[in-house]
Chains A and B, each alone.
Chain A
Amino acid sequence: MGVAAMKNKLKIYRAMHNLTQEQLADKIGVSRQTVIAIESDRYLPSLGLAFKIARLFKVKIEDIFTYGGKEE
């Protein structure tokens, strides 16, 4: 699965919770560069990190991350 097939709304959820990239990075235990890379769809987070993000915003994973690829 390519990075391009995945889309996310992390930036929107971060703005909704008034968090800076640095604050979000500290809360989920990654670097700010990782948050930037996820937001710009250049890096796919691991399942564990995706759960952490979803749990932080109290939503389901699929609310933040969506798969835009073709069904096989």
Chain B
Amino acid sequence: MNRKKYKQLRIIVTFFVSAVVSMAVIRDSYLLAATGVLTGMVFMVLVRVKAKIRTDERESTIQEKAARMTYAIFAPTIGVAAFLLLLPSKGGISVFSKGEWLFTESLGMVFAYLTLFLITVYAISYHFFNRKYGGGGNEE
């Protein structure tokens, strides 16, 4: 199987999974949705392994750059949003202290923890890849 056929097959499987999930939503069945998605994923992994489809290196480069840009945009955005949402509740502003805007504090906390989680995952993966590609050692 060449890359073109693999891409066509991927489109067909995507349509199949979408149809199954739509049907699951109509029938209100979580099990059907989960089964459909899992079947699609397992099928595509098996096809990829059997047909020995390798990731194109240009595609990998694009993915790396897109991931880096996503992190560079998302982390500060969500961090600043958390700060802005938490600031009024700590500042004792009357409209917030009445509890009418209590949800902003909760949302701020969720954003703050998400930011921490994102930074932690980045730091761990950076450390892992740094070691994998020869960094961190003092060997001569």
What residues of chain A have their CB less than 8 Å away from a CB belonging to chain B?
26, 29-31, 33-34, 37, 43, 45-46, 49
Q: In the assembled complex, which residues on chain B have CB atoms less than 8 Å from the CB atom of A31?
A: 3, 56, 58-59
Q: Is B54 an interface residue (CB 8 A)?
A: yes
CB nearest neighbor in A for B60:
A46
Q: In the assembled complex, which residues on chain A have CB atoms less than 8 Å from the CB atom of B3?
A: 31
Min CB distance A3 to B, Å, is 11
Q: Is B2 an interface residue (CB 8 A)?
A: yes
Alpha-carbon separation in the docked complex, A58 to B92 (Å): 75
Interface string of B1-28 (1 = CB under 8 A from A): 0110000000000000000000000000
CB nearest neighbor in A for B3:
A31
Q: In the assembled complex, which residues on chain A have CB atoms less than 8 Å from the CB atom of B61?
A: 43
CB nearest neighbor in A for B56:
A31
Min CB distance B110 to A, Å, is 40
CB nearest neighbor in A for B52:
A29
